[in-house]
Amino acid sequence: MEKIEHTTVSTNGINMHVASIGSGPVILFLHGFPDLWYSWRHQLLSFADLGYRAIAPDLRGYGDSDSPPSHESYTVLHIVGDLVGLLDSLGVDQVLLVGHDWGAIIAWWMCMIRPDRVKALVNMSVEFHPRNPSVKPVEAFKALFGEDYYVCRFQEPGDIEEDFAQVDTKKLINGFFTSHSTRPPCIPKSVFKYLPDPPALPAWFTEQDICFYADKFSQKGYTGGLNYYRALNLSWELTAPWDGLQIKVPVKYIVGDLDPTYHIPGTKEYIHEGGLKKHVPFLQEVVVMEGVGHFLQQEKPNEITDHIYGFFKKF
């Protein structure tokens, strides 16, 4: 870990913290919620040894990167703009791109908006869905899962932050990362009053890992990450010009069979029966990892590295 370099890059009006290591073709890793560059720690070291330059930023709102206060500064256009500016500042024309969770959403949109900057994509957990011009995403989630669905509960500024503040940060981080429930993540208002102690830590997630995340989120808070959800409807409005376009870069998609995103009604059929391929015509591989939950790059780091390397070495 001490080999990883940490720098700050000025991009798109913010200062972005970037972790990087190695030399060679550039792989850009994008994290999700509630994550940091640190979620790619295993892959950074592995790909440096494999002859790549591995780069993982703290995205806007996270860790040691700047956090603009308004949720209106967290649309997918802002985040893609940050990444284009990052590549420009590093003198990198094209990258091999890897995304997970919100990082996967950003990666899909980067391939849509700036396909010239992406050689190939490995995306994890969140599949691509075309923009539905007739309904805003938050309203769609509310209709499908109700007001307590996590995306809906995250909408009101300050509300879920107050709930999170009732729980010790380390306990909350543990709960986020180690849950293997495949049910839709719903957060009733009173849930944190009765939050049980998490089970013993799995082998892949150590006390040191929890402390790293807890320290950063204790310093930074969760609002930056939550603002991605609060900007969902605004992103929907702003991305109308790209309606109907396909993702036209080579893609490999990976999901764990215990990931709740994989169990959203209709998702398995969409992925495996041609729906995803219709919108991502250069989709080359789909991998469903058995016995793996949402944070698959940390749960099975060696296997994920093998999957990514097996795909990227073609390019």
Active site residue 262: no
Active site residue 294: yes
Phi and psi at 87, nearest 5°, equal -65, -40
Tokens linked to 101: 């969770």
Q: What's the rounded Cα separation, in Å, for the pair 269 and 275?
A: 8
User: Strand 118-124 relative to strand 251-256: parallel, antiparallel, unpaired?
Assistant: parallel
Catalytic residue among 82, 101, 209, 259: 101
**Is the alpha carbon torsion for 222, 228, 233, 234 positive or negative?**
positive
Tokens linked to 253: 């998609």
Q: What's the rounded Cα separation, in Å, for the pair 117 and 110?
A: 8
Decide: helix, strand or coil at residue 289: strand
Name the helix (H) or strand (E) containing 18.
Answer: strand 14-21
Name the helix (H) or strand (E) containing 86.
Answer: helix 76-90
Catalytic residue among 229, 253, 262, 270: 229
Active site residue 74: no
Q: What's the rounded Cα separation, in Å, for the pair 247 and 123?
A: 12
Query: DSSP characters for 161-212?
Result: HHHHTTS-HHHHHHHHHH----S--B--TTGGGGPPPP-PPPTTS-HHHHHH
Closest CA to 276 of 290, 258, 262: 262
The residues facing 124 across adjacent strands are: 100, 254
Decide: helix, strand or coil at residue 87: helix
Catalytic residue among 78, 279, 294, 307: 294
Q: What's the rounded Cα separation, in Å, for the pair 308 and 119?
A: 13
Tokens linked to 21: 């290591």
Catalytic positions: 101, 229, 294
